[in-house]
Amino acid sequence: MVHRIVVGAAGFIGRPLAAHLAAQQGRLLLIDSEPAGPPTGTVRGWHAVDCRTERFTQLVDEFLDGAERVELFHAAGRVPHLARIAANDVAAFRAAIEDNLVTTYAVLRTVAEAAAAHRVPGAMLVLGSVGGTRAHRYKAGYDAAKAATESLTRSFALEYGPLRISTRAIAIGPIDDSSTTSADGVHLDALVRDVPLQRYATLAEVVHAVAVLATPVFDFANGATYLFDGGLAQQLRSEAIERPPEDLGAR
């Protein structure tokens, strides 16, 4: 039986992901440090606990006992307020690293060690951001943390791959129904036009992609980071300032 763990289960992606996984066969452990209550239909397996504590380690160890496969979905993290570097002091930068990098290391290490101890194969999937590949403006700490989590993915892939634990990441771009997208206001149409597919991903698309990437068919992609952004990070600059060919529109 597959035992699945969602860390950040009360979050924007974690909550619908937990509901999606609850409809599948297998056992489910849902973790979030915020006591917001379990997603609909997922009362079982819900725990409000900090992933850096001994309690989290104990929960994971008990949960993996008897498992045939483990699938971890690390969806926790926190997006800080926009701030220029000049106004973003060291304490704020350190907080972004703690919230988005240190917690990732703690979760991956705990689950990998428990899986190794119980000799359970499986996959650990880190839900990251395109900010780890291409910098946002005014999110220096967040982007630095997301870039480092991709490096962590590779490190865990090397050390735990021999134990049949595959580690991989998905770098998620803008999502159509997110709060950050709503906050873009009058700039939204221009930002969407920068995406080669001419739209943002829906939350449902993200959830389904995440669920599939943790399945055994992707285990050989050990250490890989998948961009899920409609091609946004592939371009050198915005189409709005690109010099078009003379025959543009002649098709």
On whether residue 245 sits in a domain, the answer given is no
On whether residue 107 sits in a domain, the answer given is yes
On whether residue 224 sits in a domain, the answer given is yes
In this prediction, residue 183 carries a pLDDT of 66
In this prediction, residue 108 carries a pLDDT of 98
On whether residue 241 sits in a domain, the answer given is no
In this prediction, residue 137 carries a pLDDT of 86
Q: The domain containing residue 89 runs over which residues? A: 2-232
| Pairwise CA distance, residues 175 & 156, whole Å | 28
On whether residue 244 sits in a domain, the answer given is no
Closest CA to 8 of 104, 94, 129: 104
Residue corresponding to tokens 């050990």: 222
On whether residue 99 sits in a domain, the answer given is yes
| Pairwise CA distance, residues 12 & 59, whole Å | 23
Domain count, the chain: 1
On whether residue 68 sits in a domain, the answer given is yes
In this prediction, residue 120 carries a pLDDT of 98
Which regions in the chain score pLDDT beneath 70? 35-44, 181-184, 186, 243, 247-251
The H or E element spanning position 237 is none
In this prediction, residue 131 carries a pLDDT of 87
List residues with catalytic annotation. 142
In this prediction, residue 48 carries a pLDDT of 87
| Pairwise CA distance, residues 35 & 46, whole Å | 10
On whether residue 160 sits in a domain, the answer given is yes
For the domain that residue 212 is a member of, what is the CATH number?
A: 3.40.50.720
In this prediction, residue 45 carries a pLDDT of 75
